[in-house]
Structure 1
Amino acid sequence: MLTEKISLNPNTDHLKNFQRWKQANGDEFSLWDYLSRVSRVELAIAFTKLFWPDFVEHENGIFLFEAFNTQVYEQWKTELGNDIASIERVMNHQHIDDILQGAEKVGIENLLYLGQSLTQMWETRLKLLYPHRRFQMICNQDESTVVVTFYQPFISQP
């Protein structure tokens, strides 16, 4: 039986600090090797909230906990006419370069890699927590940024 590696891959050519480490340590130096040299457990723990986020349920909508604000929700509810799916889509909308510093230095293809990875992890978490709900995951790029969001396409009004 063949073992096949299935993954998204970043473009490490644009990861300048990683390239310096790789040059110093040889071609076999991997991103895992890099992580073990430069990362700390405290930062890894913090990243779990980005990669495996908490959610809040409000009026039948599901929202990123860190991005949810009741006052902002009410403003969008008024503007979007109680359309919960549209409110979810706009309130869960996250720009990668707003979340993490230095996004402009790694190249748009790496931002897309990160955005696609986030949407896969968020989708998995949402399915685990809300197995009877259906979510639409979106990862879009333009010339300078990547945006991720999610919403429930078929949701009843509160």
Structure 2
Amino acid sequence: MFDDHVNGEYTEFRDANEGDFTWWSYVNMKSDLKTALGFARFFYPDIIEVEGGFLLKDKFSEKYFDLWKKECQENKLNIEKIMNLYQVRDFFHMNVDEDENVEEQIQALGKAIKLLWSLSFKDRFPSREIVVSLFEEDDGELFVTVYEDEK
């Protein structure tokens, strides 16, 4: 999914323990059960369907849905794309160590989200074509969105 060096702290701990330190060791040391449960929901997000639209529950707002419904002229695909749009950097913007390789970490997180969300939607909605799109804007910012392709 990504190289170990993306997380310098992990590689330092691994090297200090002569290779007898795994990602499971790292997670056990850095997090707790409640955080792990939060990440389970984060990487396997709940979905709601509103007026036939496939929407991320934790991102949903009735106010914005009504706004985008008008703005997108009730085009389901465009409503889903904009309602489910999120800047990857914003998922964890409060606890960032700016001295590290943040941009590389954001890229790795974006790829992980795309992979795991795609697998989770395929698992739950096998007969539907759910697309997880990861893309970079001209300014270099990375975004993720989800929508149903109705080909």
Verify same fold: TM over 0.5.
yes
Q: How does 1:113-132 map to 2 (within 5 A)?
A: 113-132=108-127
Aligned length: 147
How far, CA to CA, are the matches of 2:136 and 2:45 in structure 1? 22
Displacement of 1:148: 1.1
What residue number does 2:49 align with? 57
What residue number does 2:146 align with? 150
AA matched with 2:43 = F
What residue number does 1:137 align with? 132
Displacement of 1:144: 4.9
Of 68, 75, 90 in structure 2, the residue corresponding to residue 76 of structure 1 is: 68
TM-score using structure 1 length? 0.80
Are 1:111 and 2:86 an aligned pair? no
Q: Are the equivalent residues in 2 in contact too, given 1:135–1:150 (CA < 8 A)?
A: yes
Q: What value does the CA root-mean-square deviation take over the aligned residues? A: 2.2
What residue number does 2:40 align with? 48
How far, CA to CA, are the matches of 2:77 and 2:37 in structure 1? 31
What residue number does 2:2 align with? 9
**Distance 1:103-1:152 versus aligned 2 partners, 3 A rule:** farther
Alignment gaps of 5+ in structure 2? none
AA matched with 2:2 = N
Displacement of 1:19: 3.5
What residue number does 1:34 align with? 26
Q: Secondary structure at the match of 1:17?
A: helix
Q: Secondary structure at the match of 1:137?
A: strand
Displacement of 1:54: 0.4
Are 1:22 and 2:17 an aligned pair? no
Q: Are the equivalent residues in 1 in contact too, given 2:6–2:104 (CA < 8 A)?
A: no
AA matched with 1:120 = L
How far, CA to CA, are the matches of 2:108 and 2:7 in structure 1? 13
Q: Are the equivalent residues in 2 in contact too, given 1:139–1:148 (CA < 8 A)?
A: yes
Q: Secondary structure at the match of 2:126?
A: coil
Q: Secondary structure at the match of 1:110?
A: helix
AA matched with 1:154 = E
* Seq. identity, %: 24
AA matched with 1:9 = F
Are 1:93 and 2:85 an aligned pair? yes
TM-score using structure 2 length? 0.83
Q: Secondary structure at the match of 2:64?
A: helix
How far, CA to CA, are the matches of 1:66 and 1:103 in structure 2? 26
How far, CA to CA, are the matches of 1:16 and 1:60 in structure 2? 44
Structure 1 segments, 4+ long, off by >4 Å, are none
AA matched with 2:115 = Q
Displacement of 1:71: 1.2
